[in-house]
Structure 1
């Protein structure tokens, strides 16, 4: 998802630091990002940093929550939410996800997904915050899958399908980072989500031109 396209421009020093975290951690990872770099990117002093965050770890945990709040709001208000058919609604979400994949690889990657890979053993606060962010995104679609399962008479677990969708999305971002060009990264990530759409279409027996 592009940086700041779905969030208002940051006004406070705290929000500028969080936006700096989104940009730098997507580009170079959590461990490689220093407090000094965050301050320089945000245009604030280290004193301002430590006024708002006790440590870099504290910023990392808050960053996962900040990311989750902004992305969940974006998807909750997106046009696909107005689609009546529950499966088409889910496929509409995936269409939006595919449309958001483009440009530099770091511009469509997940902040929480990036941090959890580095910090799942070294930082409990970051691990917990990233867990809540990633699984919280999956939870947004449990009701949609529940409706789809009932509507199409499919023997499937809505919670499991929601989690599987998130697994494919996060996995697509990881695989994209293995590529040696942004063009190949974009193609790989998009194809992964297209396969997910095909799987869901077959699972629910939906005839669709998608």
Structure 2
């Protein structure tokens, strides 16, 4: 999911370059600490080009959240966890895939919309809503497999496919925060291991009653 360098001859238009710069710079230093000048410098465009495409930094933030949702949707749609026949194996393989892509510095593997939500949830409803749409939109892609796994194993529980899908994102976002706090990606990978064990536990009870 890396982006071309400044000198790449096919980087695309100024708007795309600004959105790619936002993706990278905001994950590295946060939304509040990122200035329009920072974004223009990283994108290799003028401030005039910025304001041609975005009326404000907040408008850029909203569009960046949507851009993140679109580009990560394509990334996850092509991921290998979809290849399993068993829906539970697809869910567990998704968790394994999330662990596998926790590599490099926190800015490389953490979530843009999670980062912006932490900073802007109270100050920018527009950014908060765009970030929520991205996070819950991704969670929704897990629901069909979770639901199918529940049916296949005759799980009747006081939790739903939607609630478990949302929980996966809660664990991942929390894991990213711990990695940022410690500067150590292994703590995030450990959290994902615990998530995998938890999902396995939920589906280990194949009785007709509610799971504990």
> Residue 118 of structure 1 aligns with which residue?
119
- Residue 153 (1) aligns with residue 157 (2): no
**1:48-95 residue CA offsets vs partner (Å, 9 max, x unmatched):** 000111111000000000001111111112121121101100111111
Large movers: runs of 4+ above 3 Å = 2-5
Q: How many residues align?
A: 198
> Residue 166 of structure 2 aligns with which residue?
163
> Residue 101 of structure 1 aligns with which residue?
102
Residue correspondence of structure 1 range 79-98 to structure 2 within 5 A: 79-98=80-99
* Secondary structure of residue in 1 paired with 2:45: coil
Q: TM-score of the superposition, structure 1-length normalised? A: 0.91
Larger Rg: 2
Aligned-partner Cα distance in 1 for 2:58–2:86: 42
Q: How far has the Cα of 1:202 moved from its partner?
A: 1.4
Q: Higher mean Cα deviation, 77-86 or 112-121?
A: 77-86
- Residue 42 (1) aligns with residue 43 (2): yes
Q: How far has the Cα of 1:4 moved from its partner?
A: 3.5
RMSD, aligned α-carbons: 1.4
Contact 1:146 1:158 in 2 (8 A): yes
> Residue 192 of structure 1 aligns with which residue?
191
Q: TM-score of the superposition, structure 2-length normalised? A: 0.90
